[in-house]
Chain A
């Protein structure tokens, strides 16, 4: 051969150009955009609709993670599903194997590296997001620690009881004043339970003879559910009660009423 082989080899730019012009590649891109859009919409729409009222900053943080992690992972999911769908569309049917083999691609270094790098970056983002959120929670808790309302929560088979040591009252109902930091000190009288004031977005297990702590600041008036999130025996499903986030005045009058009736309020 007279000419150099190099003359025939396309430059990287040309290779990318011909790659993008291929029909299967453009189809995959369209499918990828579609699946990405589906996941973005799902993330943005589904969780705010499915999840209950947001009654604290912590709950907002939880919901944001679920929404934005879905949105950020959408392109990765989109690529995977697009390639899968593209090959699915091109399926070979019948009772005999396809007449000829596909291209013998054993591996592709740059693709493996780029893919690993992208998933690693996504993973680091998830970690940084989580740690930042945890730090915010700790900083808020620290800032509010001296003015926090302490509620001692006791789980027993199968009900919750709440003791307010500073107010000198105890109750089976959980009432909290709005915008005041609250510190739940949780303990169990028997087996493991898990204290879950649902709309407040925090949770901690109740253990026998060991106090665990959860902190939050309710910032919306209204009713929230208190549930047990750890299987604790026959009536686990019914180990629930309601809580109220009230105005400070309402809370104070509830406290004085409770005191007047002997320090316990049913």
Chain B
């Protein structure tokens, strides 16, 4: 990591100074960007950011494999063991390590960092909205907060389940020794890692004024901070493509003997469908960002109506990614809870087939619904009807997910631990998110609700209330296997109630504000919305405190929690058959699977 950072900074510095010699300095004397010629500044900044990313990867040794192929000498077995971090202790967490368990921990810490950063920005947003005219921050900073909170959380939530648990747990769950492509696995993490400083640099370049949707032409008009956003998305899209190819291949090719498709744990199915959906989705966002970058550097005018382009082109490309993306986030979270529920209720997963049908149905329909974000864009009013039909039909496979969960709970006596509490929180939160989604997707009601706080509250119920709740449940569930210790009960319960009650208060207030007519992404609002916003902010602080308690519980338990037995929950999936610390190749003997992992229950009738 050290060499990576040094080489990355070196590459970036060389690129910057070469371009500066060519175009002149992008800085004015008063430490602000000289935007008299924005194109030069944009070229300089974008190239510098990509140079950092590439330099870091060179420095950390990510390109060792391709380099060795070039000189015709593949890695030897000892070198591969070295790359896997064999016997290197804590050091392996800071290097290019191909062990999927190390990558999983790297993702976990990365996700927690991103959630912390994004959450802090959320607290600042809510503080600014505590009363009308509070001016805690100015409008420029507020807009940047909204946009950077959005993109930070979106990135965090896309990887929140498939990153830590998909990498650490999933290969063990299917009885594999590692991922299909261990070097690509490490690459996906470190590519993502290089995007984090790039994203943070947006703050030092004047922020972004566009929100995370980065609609053109506002994004083309925007200042130098926008380059950081563009570079982040392009780098992140590369990371998800690599991770997606790796996870899907692993599940298809590396399952244990006897693990037929109807014996694959549901979390594995969910994570696979999620990344398989991400593979086609993200390139459109990447293309949209490349086009925005070209518009900003060489004035291609893709999105500039003055020279024949169209902002609608951007909106289409964005939402072709944007809607599948919310299911990329949602599905692994739900799948993790479906993995948890049978273990704690001591019953088989209710209708494994319906669960798969639900995931597959959602994934299939989700690529046909993107223009419901554009009902009010005026792009193609005649297509609103068809898009409404596809969108409303998503409620059918979504209904199956509820059926699977409540069917599993039916007549059960659940063992009420933190993972199980998350199942209940999910059911409540996602029910509210789902029902409000039904009226948002109806074109007439969207005339009123589009672009209002109501939308913001709705998607927080689905992304935070459902997907993040699922991921927190998954963390509590797999914590013993990933750290060797139990997650502190008291800390996690206190956190759970603070977060869940706070969350519902927060977004109840936001539903009120939205229904009353408050647009979203506003730095200030009329007095009519004062009560609703005050309620929201109070709830937000409760969420904030709750998340800090969870952070304390995680750190404390990781360092000095109760040592976990091999299978503390009595689960029947394979990851609980290996000891902690998990050996480098996971299993002493390749496991053989003889039944599905949910054969709990008295004499199945």
Contacts and interface: CB of A to CB of B under 8 A. Distances in A.
Interface in A182-196: 186, 190-192, 194, 196
A16 interface: no
A203 B450 contact: yes
User: Could you say which of A61, A87, A127, A190 has the most chain B C-beta atoms within 10 Å of its C-beta?
Assistant: A87
A42 B549 CA distance: 33
B444 A123 contact: no
Interface stretch (A143-151, A166-174, A226-234, A254-262): A226-234
Interface stretch (B43-51, B243-251, B516-524, B577-585): B516-524
B392 A107 contact: no
B411 A24 contact: yes
A249 interface: no
Contacts of A102: 345-347, 411-413, 600-602
Contact of A227 (B348, B449, B519): B519
Given A88-B424, A127-B389, A105 B411 contact: yes
Contacts of B139: 234-237
B603 interface: yes
B76 interface: no
B63 interface: no
Interface string A205-223: 1011110110000000000
A87 B407 CA distance: 11
User: Could you say which of B211, B411, B444, B452 has the most chain A C-beta atoms within 10 Å of its C-beta?
Assistant: B444
A204 interface: yes
B601 A103 contact: yes
Nearest to A208: B305
A127 B396 CA distance: 13
Contacts of A59: 448
B407 A98 contact: no
Nearest to A65: B445
A131 B384 CA distance: 10
**On chain B, which size bracket covers the interface?**
35 or more
Contact of B346 (A94, A98, A229): A98
B299 interface: no
Interface stretch (B165-173, B183-191, B278-286, B306-314): B306-314
B552 interface: no
A87 B409 contact: yes
B353 interface: yes
B81 interface: no
A92 interface: yes
User: Could you say which of A84, A234, A238 has the most chain B C-beta atoms within 10 Å of its C-beta?
Assistant: A84
Interface in B175-232: 209-211, 213, 215, 217-218, 221
A137 interface: yes
User: Could you say which of A80, A108, A204 has the most chain B C-beta atoms within 10 Å of its C-beta?
Assistant: A80
A198 B517 contact: yes
A102 to B, nearest CB: 4
Contact of B522 (A116, A207, A236): A236
A196 to B, nearest CB: 7
B315 to A, nearest CB: 8
A210 B312 CA distance: 10
Interface in A2-34: 24
A202 B519 contact: no
A91 B414 contact: yes
Contact of B602 (A92, A100, A237): A100
B601 A101 contact: yes
B409 A84 contact: yes
A1 interface: no
A63 B428 CA distance: 24
A83 B409 contact: yes
A203 B602 contact: no
Given A87-B413, A101-B602, A236-B143, 12 more contacts: A69-B442, A86-B409, A87-B410, A104-B347, A104-B604, A130-B442, A192-B218, A203-B376, A208-B217, A208-B306, A236-B139, A236-B522
21 contacts: A73-B435, A80-B406, A86-B409, A87-B410, A101-B346, A101-B600, A104-B348, A104-B600, A104-B601, A104-B604, A106-B351, A107-B353, A131-B385, A191-B215, A207-B310, A207-B312, A231-B520, A233-B143, A234-B140, A236-B139, A237-B519
Interface of A: 24, 46-47, 50-52, 58-59, 61-63, 65-66, 69-70, 73, 76-77, 79-81, 83-84, 86-88, 90-94, 97-98, 100-108, 111-112, 115-116, 119-120, 122-123, 126-127, 129-131, 133-134, 137, 186, 190-192, 194, 196, 198-199, 201-205, 207-210, 212-213, 225, 227-238
